[in-house]
Amino acid sequence: MMRVADFIAEFIYDIGVKHVFMLTGGGIMHLTDGVACNKDLQVVCCHHEQASSMALEAYSRMTGNYGVGYFTTGPGATNAITGLAGAWLDSVPCLFISGQVKRKEAVYNAKIPGLRQFGVQEINILPIVESITKYSAIVNNPEDIRYHLEKALYLSKEGRPGPSWLDIPLDVQGAIIEPDKLRGFTPPEDMKKIPESQIKQVEQYIKSASRPVILAGYGVRISGAINDLLKLVEKYNTPVITTYLGADVIDSEHPNYVGRIGIKGDRAGNLAMQNSDLLIVIGSSLPVAEIGYEYPQFAREARVVIVDIDISSHKKNTIKIDLLIEGDAKEFLNKLSRLLDKQQINSGNKWLDTCISWRNKYPVCLPEYEKLKDKINIYYFIDRLSRKLNTDDVVVTDAGSAFYAGSQCVKIKQGMRYITSGGFATMGYSLPASIGISAALNKKRVMCITGDGSLQQNIQELQTVVHYGFPLKIFILNNDGYLSIRFTQEKYFNGRFIGESSISGVSFPDSKKIADAYGIKFVRVSNNSQLDKALDDVLEFDGPVICDIMTPRDQLIIPTVASEKKDDGTMVSKPLEDMYPFLERDEFRKNMIVKALSE
């Protein structure tokens, strides 16, 4: 005989999950006691459920296993929704378990039309979360707990991964069950495979292409296909570009790596993609941030092949797709490699050399950034930090300038991880995410790059860092507020600033006073001459550190695709290959193999 709460704790540990993230509450009192009674499971208690939700999804990204969190009834559950949505958009398999009022007091069970609340502190959470979960259910029958757990975890990783949510009433949590008599979940047999005809079609495209490019997304990592990708591109001299979330699938110095794509990608990545005559996209949903705002301009003279486990993302009627393959990235790469091994493919080096010349000619971190006398350019900081990191380090970035500049500029060494909130670009993500990652790595150091604005979203988690001794290196890009919003208001609204800094309605505390309050080592870096020594001191320190990087208020996030506002109020964007600051027109035209649209 066993209590449901104890069964859940044991089940979680048995699938290889070592940590549960939570903020304790009365609605989960049996669940949390189940963890307390389990000698193997460890708990990480955050100070806000939003932080717990972000920590557990980052834990999943780092381990490749599930992240698990407990959330109390009502506001505890709703506080977790931002992290849940981020996991949904970024394909992260995890399990959210919420407590619920007793079955007899649950709105879900009352079935009374229009009833808003029955039990104490209750909210009917399932209708709220069902659109952003792979599986959601209320466990009304204690005897069904094994079934729901197995189904939730199976569906979280089946196809395109994502989170699942189980809502467990208080009286079910404490109910007594016989584990040996519980029914389980039997997964359906997976018969879906990529048709050989589609692989052969890709082979024909490759044989006839002179400028092929592979765009690697996060799906390459999810499917465990990184080595398969590298073997293929190295054998056939194929240029590789990546998405933001796919940035860490390949070393930034790899001879086949060109760059990162999108409206805030880099010149080299976008030039390679836009000049290609065959673009093979593997494991990316191709959101607008990657294809640009003017859809017909995307890879406009290329055959576009998309390989994705979730083809619904490619039915948006945006770009032209020549071949859409529904399937796993690893299966595709293995089948394609076997087929190509039988052929004589003369890919040559000229096209790859051209792409690498763009990478070398158009770095994101420009030489003049090093010469800045006052303040520190964000790109220069990220470049210097990247060069000092090890192959087993992890870099986590927040929203805004940290997200864009970090994703453009971070230098990946094979084995490093780069983790960010891609689809949601959530402010306040990096600190709780770094907590989850450090927990997953047995309290290893993590580079947490945030902003003075983003840090305020989850600043309370600095105490979680201190309490558990997570040796986070927290770098604050200090620019007096919200840099991205500042530029938007300056460019499109004639400098009518509101809510972007201390001069327009929002201000931020002194980072040193914050560090002192939490008892965390503090370093402030005001100019380039101080940077290298400060970074060395931060990285060598055993415990957590807050490092305040003083950056310009008017720091440009470049290169970027520029948009202009027309007289009728509509926005028109330049093609991805023509990024701001604009190149001299002669130089731009020399880079264009396909017909240039911007002059």
Residue pLDDT tens, the chain, 599 long:
999 999 999 999 999 999 999 999 999 999 999 999 999 999 999 999 999 999 999 999 999 999 999 999 999 999 999 999 999 999 999 999 999 999 999 999 999 999 999 999 999 999 999 999 999 999 999 999 999 999 999 999 999 999 999 999 999 999 999 999 999 999 998 878 999 999 999 999 999 999 999 999 999 999 999 999 999 999 889 999 999 999 999 999 999 999 999 999 999 999 999 999 999 999 999 999 999 999 999 999 999 999 999 999 999 999 999 999 999 999 999 999 998 876 766 556 899 999 999 999 999 999 999 999 899 999 999 999 999 999 999 999 999 999 999 999 999 999 999 999 999 999 999 999 999 999 999 999 999 999 999 999 999 999 999 999 999 999 999 999 999 999 999 988 999 999 999 999 999 999 999 999 999 999 999 999 999 999 999 999 999 999 999 999 999 999 999 877 677 877 778 999 999 999 999 999 999 999 998 55
Q: Are residues 107 and 235 in the same domain?
A: no
**The domain containing residue 353 runs over which residues?**
196-361
Q: Are residues 147 and 20 in the same domain?
A: yes
The total number of structural domains in the chain stands at 3
Q: Are residues 124 and 237 in the same domain?
A: no
Q: Are residues 235 and 147 in the same domain?
A: no
Q: Is the dihedral of CA 330, 331, 332, 335 positive or negative?
A: positive
Q: Are residues 249 and 169 in the same domain?
A: no
| Confidence (pLDDT) at 347 | 57
| Confidence (pLDDT) at 192 | 85
* Whole-angstrom distance, CA of residue 239 vs CA of residue 232: 11
> How do residues 402-422 score in pLDDT, each as one tens digit?
999 999 999 999 999 999 999
What is residue 97's DSSP assignment?
E
| Confidence (pLDDT) at 345 | 64
Query: Would residue 348 count as lying in a domain?
Result: yes
| Confidence (pLDDT) at 311 | 95
| Confidence (pLDDT) at 427 | 97
Q: Are residues 307 and 221 in the same domain?
A: yes
Residues in the chain: 599
Query: Would residue 441 count as lying in a domain?
Result: yes
Q: Is 268 exposed, middle or buried (0-12, 13-18, 19+ CB in 10 A)?
A: buried
Query: Would residue 152 count as lying in a domain?
Result: yes
Q: Are residues 397 and 296 in the same domain?
A: no
Question: Among 301, 331, 361, which residue terminates a domain?
Answer: 361
Q: Are residues 516 and 425 in the same domain?
A: yes
Q: Are residues 497 and 420 in the same domain?
A: yes
* Whole-angstrom distance, CA of residue 111 vs CA of residue 117: 11
pTM for this model (two decimals): 0.96
Peptide bond into 255 cis (omega under 30): no
Query: Would residue 232 count as lying in a domain?
Result: yes
Q: Where residue 268 sits, what CATH number does that domain have? A: 3.40.50.1220
Q: Where residue 495 sits, what CATH number does that domain have? A: 3.40.50.970
Query: Would residue 500 count as lying in a domain?
Result: yes
Query: Would residue 459 count as lying in a domain?
Result: yes
Interior/surface letters 227-244, b for 16+ CB within 10 angstroms, e for the rest: ebbbebbeebbbbbbbbb
| Confidence (pLDDT) at 416 | 98
Quickly list DSSP for 249-271: GS-TT-TTEEEE-STTS-HHHHH
Q: Are residues 257 and 351 in the same domain?
A: yes
Question: Among 322, 341, 361, which residue terminates a domain?
Answer: 361
**For the packed helices 378-388 and 401-409, what is the interaxial angle rounded to 10 degrees?**
50
Q: Are residues 373 and 503 in the same domain?
A: yes
Q: Are residues 160 and 21 in the same domain?
A: yes
**In this structure, what is the dihedral angle of CA atoms 31, 446, 398, 85, given to the nearest 10 degrees?**
-30
Question: Among 324, 340, 361, which residue terminates a domain?
Answer: 361
Query: Would residue 406 count as lying in a domain?
Result: yes
Query: Would residue 187 count as lying in a domain?
Result: no
Strand order in the sheet with 135-138: 42-45, 19-22, 67-71, 94-100, 163-169, 135-138
